[in-house]
Chain A
Amino acid sequence: MKGLVPLFIGLFGTFAFSWVGLTVIPNWQIGALNPQTDEEGTDAYPTPKSGMADRGRRIYAANGCIYCHSQQIRPDYDSADIDRVRDAGPSPGPKWAERRSAPRDYIFDRPVVLGKERMGPDLANIGKAAPTEEEKPAPPPPANAPANSPAPAQSPPANASAPKPGTSGSPAAPATSPTPPAAALNPSPAASASPNPTGLPPAYSEAWHHRHLYAPRSMSPDNRDSTMPAYKFLYEKHPISGERSADALQLEGRDAPPPGWEVVPTYEAKCLVAYLMSLDQSHPLKEVKTAPGGAAPPAGSPPAAPGGSPTPAPPKK
């Protein structure tokens, strides 16, 4: 080739071609999306995260969670993402998703944490997997409490189809963590609440997430193969002063602190868990087909459990 000019033009041309084609045009197509609202102008989705959840997202990105966890659901014709069931918790566990991810799900994420590898499960809907108020088992009664019946599952709030713990307020202290008497810091697994035979917090609740971050391999016998690093630096171990804190982690075995000590989450840990609890992509989008399994029943029949409205319809025969 003689001449620098044709070379330069060619170099610039090929570069510009790829730049325009792969970044500028897609940006023009999907780079200015707005949240979807329905006809009344209500029910906007997605909404920007605020407060602790937003900070939690930055902690998520800063701790490299993206290197093992993805946050995108692939469609059902090319993967089993939608139908895959979460491991923890009583079976059948919640599915990973109702539908695939769409660009509109991520418009308020900066940085966007799609992830490219799954050494750990996908987290796009991990907030939705959290148990609703009705599902949380009754806390086992404290050993030295008088015979007050433990608070039953709270009467369901009017619209509890999925829990949406206040992301801007402090995370709800795990309503079900028992307050064991000071002597028994390792509650025996045989607590009275039978959905919790292993002594773990309810699957995918905030307490569960805290314990998972602190000691990933303690979650259940099946989790020993987990390669997740223990994020102990997000937690604080200090002596119990007076009464055990409400948000102290329930730990067992080797992970448990010595008697008289407790492990509490730092503010960063709480933000991170608030972020995880806010991850929910199940809201339907017009541009995405919902998977057949999640198709709605015709209006009029009572919504399927869980968390449906307490429509006292006559029992199905």
Chain B
Amino acid sequence: MNDQTPTPTSLTRQGMDYGETSDVQEVHAAIQREKREPRVGLEPLSIWLIAVYGIAIFTGGAYLGRYSGNFSGDGLDPLGGPPPAKKGGGPQGQQQQAELSPRDRGKKIFAANCQTCHQANGLGVPGQYPPLAGSEFTTGGSKRPAMIVLKGLQGPVTVKGQKFGSAVMQPWDKTLTDQKIADVLTYERSEWGNSASPVTAEQIAGLRKELANHPDSYTEPDVLAVPENAELPGGGPAGAPPPKPGEAAKPGGSPPPPPKS
């Protein structure tokens, strides 16, 4: 073994790398300290571990089965059952739509259905379509406008002193639901300076039943036969003002709304 440190030149002449040593002990020590490369044993699986696997699979699977809603894109609720019907199904859809106030809903319905004739400002078209703003039919008792909307109106009619009659108003009982008719009446009765009581779907439903056998389309005399402030029964808590004393009972003979003190 050399005691002298080999000089760099002597090393490289021997073909060694700079810094490499020819000291055998030193070279081997670096190798000897390395353990052998890892290898793998072959111990068998413990039965307890398999039990743990079983429990895990059961728990995971049960959780997946229980809390997946209905595996559909609509199932946001993990415990939910079948998704609601696509079109929001009748009353449930209405309920959810009812976040908008009845007047707002009514406004939309009016815009989609009535505005073409009665105009957005409710003034109608002179000679053709009667106005709703300030109209005695719209703002009086709720029965008359409800009848008109449900069954339609034709023939000559006088509104606010003006004559109309060239146009025919279609019946809406088949196109609009009770809720929608109630909403649009509520809107009309509170818009454009009108201030009449709102109308509920129950009231319309009652009227619809009452008029079930009536053929379509009223004429003015039919409407005028109904007292001007005839209210539909079943108004809401702040609904119909009490009927004036002595008013004729409505054709259906329904009890007057509960008197408000």
Contact = CB atoms under 8 A, between A and B. Distances in A.
Dominant secondary structure at the B interface? loop
Contact of B98 (A299, A302, A313): A299
A285 B103 contact: no
B96 A298 contact: no
B101 A287 contact: no
Contacts of B32: none
Contacts of A289: 77, 96
A301 B237 contact: yes
A30 B107 CA distance: 32
A224 interface: no
Interface residues of B, number: 50
Contacts of A75: 76-77
A290 B108 contact: no
B100 interface: yes
B227 interface: no
A295 interface: yes
Contacts of A313: 197-198, 238-239
A18 interface: no
Contacts of B191: 158
Contacts of B235: 300
Interface in B66-122: 72-74, 76-77, 79, 83-84, 86-88, 93, 95-105, 107-109, 111-112
A14 interface: no
Interface stretch (B3-11, B151-159, B182-190, B210-218): B182-190
Contacts of B229: none
A210 B96 CA distance: 34
B199 interface: yes
Interface in A22-43: 26, 29-30, 38-40, 42-43
Interface residues of A, number: 46
A30 B93 CA distance: 21
B236 interface: yes
A287 B87 CA distance: 10
A290 B195 CA distance: 31
A298 B76 contact: no
A232 B111 CA distance: 46
B261 A317 contact: yes
B238 A302 contact: yes
Nearest to A43: B108
17 contacts: A38-B108, A40-B108, A42-B111, A103-B76, A159-B103, A286-B87, A287-B76, A290-B96, A298-B202, A299-B201, A300-B203, A300-B236, A301-B236, A303-B103, A311-B103, A314-B238, A317-B261
